[in-house]
Chain A
Amino acid sequence: ETGVTQTPRHLVMGMTNKKSLKCEQHLGHNAMYWYKQSAKKPLELMFVYSLEERVENNSVPSRFSPECPNSSHLFLHLHTLQPEDSALYLCASSQDRRRKLFFGSGTQLSVL
């Protein structure tokens, strides 16, 4: 059993759709993250939830909306995305924000 599970693995959506990515961690960690990985670019931190505090990258557009109902679950709500949002979206967790990350398998998102 993997420590961090993400669904769906693949997602194709139109620009007018609304969808959500789901992440669950079974490691007892207290921090969860969303990262975006575009082709030939470094992983880009989008959002961090740690001890109920949310920290975000100010460059993330508002069409991405995170939700963290508890320390084990994390969602990324998507609406009116653009084709340039097509990327691999990775969820991760850690015990404290400076510690090593454990990643889920990612969601490969294509926006048409």
Chain B
Amino acid sequence: RKEVEQDPGPFNVPEGATVAFNCTYSNSASQSFFWYRQDCRKEPKLLMSVYSSGNEDGRFTAQLNRASQYISLLIRDSKLSDSATYLCVVENGDTGRRALTFGSGTRLQVQP
């Protein structure tokens, strides 16, 4: 099983739609979780951290489900500028490495 698994998409949605991505992780000892956004040929940029209680930042909501070992990202009222690849990132719970592991990303295309 991959350490971090995401549906690659693409998700093609119209402007104004609500879209949700899920990401599963294999290491139950993981403590830190993030969503990054990566535009084509650019570096990844932090979108938001994911907290146990869930968190919201404007149109974006992130949730963590430790029991089922997945995190989610919900985007409401999609904009054309939201088109990008969204990377799920999980801290590797192995204390010997203690680094972040990236999923392959989910591509979102918002259409006019």
The main secondary structure of chain B at its interface with chain A is: loop
Residues of B within 8 A of A33 (CB): 99
Q: Nearest CB to that of B4 among chain A residues?
A: A42
Cβ of B26 within 8 Å of any chain A Cβ, yes or no, is no
Residues of B within 8 A of A106 (CB): 42-43
Q: Which of B43, B49, B99, B105 is in CB contact (< 8 Å) with A45?
A: B99
Residues of B within 8 A of A45 (CB): 99-101
Residues of B within 8 A of A43 (CB): 44, 87, 102
> Which has the most chain A C-beta neighbours within 10 Å: B32, B102, B103?
B102
Q: Please give the distance in Å from B97's CB to the nearest CB on chain A.
A: 6
- B43 and A97: CB pair below 8 A? no
Cβ of A90 within 8 Å of any chain B Cβ, yes or no, is yes
Q: Which of A55, A100, A101, A103 is in CB contact (< 8 Å) with B97?
A: A55
Q: Which of A42, A97, A98, A100 is in CB contact (< 8 Å) with B102?
A: A42
Q: Nearest CB to that of B89 among chain A residues?
A: A101
- B91 and A98: CB pair below 8 A? yes
Cβ of B104 within 8 Å of any chain A Cβ, yes or no, is yes
- B43 and A103: CB pair below 8 A? yes
Cβ of B45 within 8 Å of any chain A Cβ, yes or no, is yes
Within A42-84, the residues touching B (CB, 8 Å) are 42-43, 45, 48, 55
The main secondary structure of chain A at its interface with chain B is: loop
Number of A-B contacts (CB under 8 A): 50
Q: Please give the distance in Å from B25's CB to the nearest CB on chain A.
A: 13
- B98 and A97: CB pair below 8 A? yes
Q: Which of B4, B34, B44, B103 is in CB contact (< 8 Å) with A103?
A: B44
Residues of A within 8 A of B98 (CB): 97-98
A99 to B46, CA, bound (A): 11
- B45 and A103: CB pair below 8 A? yes
Residue positions of B touching A, CB distance < 8 A: 4, 31-32, 34, 41-46, 49, 87, 89, 91, 96-105
Residue positions of A touching B, CB distance < 8 A: 33, 35, 40-43, 45, 48, 55, 88, 90, 97-106, 108
Q: List 5 A-B contacts (CB under 8 A).
A: A42-B102, A42-B103, A48-B99, A97-B99, A101-B46
